[in-house]
């Protein structure tokens, strides 16, 4: 059974339990967030990370925020709720699942405006639990929809971590691999280590090894060579935000991998839930790209590897254009040759 990455424990006075992903792979430790600030901090520092898991952190974060709103006056409650969602929205900018989760909670509150505050709070609790349960079935559906793309004997390259740790428990890109493994297919995975925070090296390899899947770690700059050697038959990655035309933001380096795949004639798949689509933006040019601290590059994991004072550019994501994507695997079906029209065919307007 996969481990739950993040979940709400208890009733409205409860707390969030999550795997502290900054400690993996050496230490598997659950931590508890009891208040709004601690979940914001957990998102910001990547204790919880990966777009769908961030979505769950958002909805459970709202529950932590409303724990401290002790009012019966609906108007005051709605004002305080807005402060909570505004605050959580400042944690990370790129994964749209954060904003999707916050909007879902706001919508439930709005739709039940006339009810007593304590009832609205109960409905918000139910909504957050629904989001976390839905994610489990959505990921399994993504696995089922994508499994045909992995054939016996294949080598599959992935970048960053789009596994159970990036979702409630089963992953998106890795869901396809878990499903292929469950079906008894024999294949090898090559995991890019994913500089600078090493989600591939620390998390993807850990998850795949635990599932008994044959996985080999490579440095990011080895992908071209490994492809040239004929070891890769497909690339499968996750996404943090997908525009209406199919352009997909994912961990920095994904765009480069897509160009390499194209050059070598290797199909490039993105696996993501519908909640990762941002249909309000027409193309990937509008996706906000998070920039993180220079220390992640110069002093990763406590060891200085560049001179003090060096200028650093550290964007955490890049955008793969739809033209480089063979198909996007969602829970609703597969979007072949992504384009505005083809996205609409599967997702509707
Ligand atoms: O900075 P991170 O670790 O949150 O970045 C995560 C990714 O880029 C994942 O590939 C993406 O969120 C897909 S998760 C199913």
Instruction: Tell me if 213 sits within 8 A of 241, measured CB to CB.
Output: no
Parts of the chain belonging to CATH 3.40.50.10470 = 143-347
- Distance from chain centroid for Cα 179: 19
Q: Which of 6, 160, 170 to mutate to test the pocket of ligand 1 (most atoms within 8 A of CB)?
A: 160
Band the pLDDT of 68: cuts 50, 70, 90.
Answer: confident
Q: Is the pLDDT of residue 103 over 80?
A: yes
Residue 251 Cβ < 6 Å to ligand 1: yes
**What three-state secondary structure class fits 196?**
coil
Domain 6-140 in CATH 3.30.420.140? The answer is no
Residue 49 Cβ < 6 Å to ligand 1: yes
Residues 6+ apart with CB under 8 A from 323: none
Each residue's pLDDT tens digit, 178-199: 999 999 999 999 999 999 999 9
Which atom of ligand 1 is found nearest the CA of 272?
15
Residue 239 Cβ < 6 Å to ligand 1: yes
Which pLDDT belongs to residue 199? 98
Which pLDDT belongs to residue 188? 98
Positions marked catalytic = 240
> Thinking of the domain 143-347, which architecture would CATH place it in?
3-Layer(aba) Sandwich (3.40)
Question: What mean pLDDT do residues 322-332 have?
Answer: 98
Strand boundaries in the chain, DSSP class E: 6-9, 15-19, 30-33, 155-158, 188-192, 214-218, 234-237, 241-243, 248-251, 268-271, 277-278, 317-320, 327-330, 333-336
Preceding omega of 82 cis (within 30 degrees of 0): no
The half-sphere exposure of 169 on its side-chain side, counting CA atoms within 13 A, is 12
Give the distance (Å) from ligand 1 centre to CA of residue 265: 25
**What three-state secondary structure class fits 308?**
coil
Q: Is the pLDDT of residue 6 over 80?
A: yes
Which pLDDT belongs to residue 76? 96
Q: Is the pLDDT of residue 349 over 80?
A: no
Residue 248 Cβ < 6 Å to ligand 1: no
Parts of the chain belonging to CATH 1.20.120.420 = 6-140
Band the pLDDT of 2: cuts 50, 70, 90.
Answer: confident
Question: What mean pLDDT do residues 152-165 have?
Answer: 98
Whose C-alpha lies nearest to ligand 1, atom 6?
50
Q: Is the pLDDT of residue 8 over 80?
A: yes
Give the distance (Å) from ligand 1 centre to CA of residue 70: 35
Q: Model's pTM, two decimal places?
A: 0.98
Band the pLDDT of 1: cuts 50, 70, 90.
Answer: confident
Question: What mean pLDDT do residues 56-85 have?
Answer: 96
Each residue's pLDDT tens digit, 270-281: 999 999 999 999
Each residue's pLDDT tens digit, 131-154: 999 999 999 999 999 999 999 999
Work out the mean pLDDT of the chain and round it to a whole number.
Answer: 98
Rounded to a whole number, what is the distance in angstroms from the first to the last CA of the chain? Answer: 36
Residue 199 Cβ < 6 Å to ligand 1: yes
- d(CA 174, CA 181) in angstroms, rounded, equals 10
């Amino acid at each position: 059974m996969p481990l739950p990455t993040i979940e709400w424990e208890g009733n409205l006075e409860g707390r969030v339990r999550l795997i502290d992903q900054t400690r993996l792979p050496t230490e598997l430790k659950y931590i508890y967030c009891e208040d709004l600030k601690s979940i914001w901090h957990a998102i910001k520092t990547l204790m919880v990370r990966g777009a769908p898991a961030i979505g769950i952190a958002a909805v459970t974060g709202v529950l932590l925020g409303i724990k401290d709103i002790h009012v019966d006056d609906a108007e005051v409650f709605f004002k305080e709720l807005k402060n909570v969602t505004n605050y959580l929205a400042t944690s990370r900018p790129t994964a749209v699942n954060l904003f999707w989760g916050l909007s879902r909670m706001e919508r439930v509150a709005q739709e039940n405006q006339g009810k007593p505050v304590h009832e609205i709070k109960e409905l918000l609790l139910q909504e957050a639990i629904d989001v976390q349960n839905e994610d489990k079935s959505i990921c399994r559906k993504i696995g089922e929809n994508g499994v045909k793309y992995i054939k016996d004997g294949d080598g599959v390259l992935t970048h960053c971590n789009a596994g159970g740790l990036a979702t409630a428990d089963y992953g998106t890109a890795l869901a396809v691999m878990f499903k292929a493994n469950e079906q008894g297919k024999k294949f090898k995975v090559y995991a890019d280590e994913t500089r600078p925070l090493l989600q591939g090296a620390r998390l993807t390899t850990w998850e795949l090894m635990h599932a008994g899947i044959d996985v080999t770690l490579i440095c990011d700059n080895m992908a071209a060579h490994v492809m040239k050697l004929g070891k890769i038959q497909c690339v499968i990655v996750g996404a943090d935000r997908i525009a209406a035309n199919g352009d997909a933001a994912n961990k920095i380096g994904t765009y480069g991998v897509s160009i390499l795949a194209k050059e070598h004639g290797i199909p490039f798949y993105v696996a993501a839930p519908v909640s990762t689509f941002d249909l309000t933006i027409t193309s990937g040019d509008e996706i906000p790209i998070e920039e993180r601290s220079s220390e992640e590059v110069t002093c990763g994991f406590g060891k200085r590897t560049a001179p003090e004072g060096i200028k650093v550019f550290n964007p955490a994501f890049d955008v793969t254009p739809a033209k480089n994507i063979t198909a996007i695997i969602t829970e609703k079906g597969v979007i072949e040759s992504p384009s505005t029209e083809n996205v609409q065919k599967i997702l509707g307007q």
